[in-house]
Structure 1
């Protein structure tokens, strides 16, 4: 894998959400991505129920961060904090 290959986030060329080795199709429209991301975050808050899970929150934040600047900023700050903490 090259250093420039994106492994996290929405790939603008293919329009797919990449999470490491997993690649999922995403809507091309901004409102569609916001609806999917909001639905994932809302479903993740109900993670104690069967079928839904807490894994949905970070995936929803990744989808929302593509279109919403405040979410992108918060995700980036968390990413930098986590890297400094682990590194």
Structure 2
């Protein structure tokens, strides 16, 4: 079960890399095995910073990014995060289609 969830999350990361080619190198570096020492504290700081979104510069955009990074290391988060990525990609595609047709 965990392997299937990890493969699904990996597919979503590859899809995000295709959508934002400029971020592909950063995504690849953070997803590597050696990236844990950077990834985990960064993810925790992003989530905490997102919860403090009432302060200037910090914002709610930090929470999903932190959860995305945490899902690499915490199998409990993988199904929810990959499902959220799928939903967001579908909404993005629908929005782009509507924008092109109008």
Distance 1:6 1:44 in 2: 25
Which of 50, 58, 61 aligns to 1:52? It is 58
The SS at the match of 2:59 is coil
Higher relative contact order (CA 8 A, sep 6+): 2
CA displacement at 1:75 relative to structure 2: 0.9
Distance 1:37 1:54, change over 3 A: same
Please, what is the CA RMSD of the aligned residues?
Answer: 3.1
Q: How many residues align?
A: 73
What is the rounded CA distance, in whole Å, between the counterparts of 2:58 and 2:73 in structure 1?
Answer: 24
Moved over 4 A (4+): none
For residue 40 of structure 1, report the CA deviation from its aligned partner: 0.3
Which structure has the highest strand share of the two? 1
Aligned in 2, Cα 1:71/1:22: closer, same or farther, shift over 3 Å?
farther
Deviation at 1:74, TM superposition (A): 1.7
State which structure, 1 or 2, has the greater radius of gyration over its C-alpha atoms.
2
Alpha-carbon offset, residue 48 of structure 1: 1.3
Higher share of residues assigned helix: 2
List gaps (5 residues or longer) in structure 1.
Answer: 10-17
Q: CA contact under 8 A between 1:7 and 1:21: conserved in structure 2?
A: no
